[in-house]
Amino acid sequence: MAELDGPRLEPKSGEARQLVVFLHGYGADGNDLIDVGRAWQPMLPNAAFVSPHAPRPCGQSPSGREWFPLTFRDPNERWVGVNAAAPVLESFLNAELARRKLPPSALALVGFSQGTMMSLHAGLRRAVAPAAIVGYSGMLVLPPDPDPEKFAAEIKSRPPVLLIHGDSDDLIPVQAVFHAAQGLAALEVPAEWHISPGTGHGIDQEGLRHGGEFLAKAFKPR
């Protein structure tokens, strides 16, 4: 199994009490999101950030990476893809938490596009719930012929989720937010969402702020 690696940021306070893992979109790499960590450091001074490069070279963009291939010809490819990529991601998350000597509950996952699909898929199946999941411009991937009971049985954790999407996204339409929120509600996963007006397939300042504030709140000692 390929081992993941990518850029890291040490916590501003000097002591890591939380771990925020960024999962980039199709055709990008870990460098694409690590600057979000820089923007969030003032709000999350005790968080270490890491943004692993996805395991596969991207079919459509050889200089970039992909969590799984996309041809848009096979309606099942996202479901097959998230399941195939999950073990290598899971192993990376566990190793990174162990390296930082942090409990699994100190983890937050932040995804963009294909990385959101991975964040939701992996995050809801972890034995211990992450502190939070933030998903930008993505979707909740469902099995091709969903058997609701079988699907629900796979869900092991119910962390708070924030979904953020631009209303002018031409790659993954904004409706994906509502489908995901409905799907999460059916699984009893607490989800909030924010729509960024005039934003395409990307993250605007408002969306950036919402994501950072959501994590800061999720990491506050209960």
- Condensed to tens digits (0 to 9), the pLDDT of residues 176-206 reads 999 999 999 999 999 999 999 999 999 999 9
Using 50, 70 and 90 to split pLDDT, how confident is the model at 100?
A: very high
Beta bridge partners of 136: 112, 164
**pTM (two decimals):** 0.97
**Closest alpha carbon to 65 in 81, 76, 49, 54:** 54
Q: What is d(CA 200, CA 165) in angstroms, rounded to the nearest whole number?
A: 8
Confirm whether 3 is domain-assigned: no
Strands (DSSP E) contained in 29-184 are: 47-50, 56-57, 65-66, 107-112, 132-136, 161-166
CATH number of the domain within which 174 lies: 3.40.50.1820
Q: Is residue 1 part of a domain?
A: no
**In terms of residue numbers, what domain contains 43?**
8-219
Residue 49 located in a structural domain: yes
With respect to residue 191, please indicate whether it lies within any of the assigned structural domains. yes
Residue 205 lies in a domain: yes
Q: Residue 106 in contact with residue 99, Cβ under 8 Å?
A: no
Structural domain tally of the chain?
1
- Whether 2 maps to a domain, the answer reads no
The pLDDT value recorded for residue 216 is 98
Q: What is the pLDDT of residue 71?
A: 86
Q: Which two tokens stand for residue 6?
A: 């990518």
Confidence of residue 59 (pLDDT cuts 50, 70, 90): confident
Grade residue 145 by pLDDT with cuts at 50, 70 and 90: confident
Name every residue whose Cβ is closer than 8 Å to that of residue 133 and which is 6 or more positions away in sequence: 108, 109, 110, 111, 119, 120, 123, 124, 159, 160, 161, 162
Least confident of 58-67, 86-95, 134-143, 169-178: 58-67
Asked if residue 202 is part of any domain, the answer here is yes
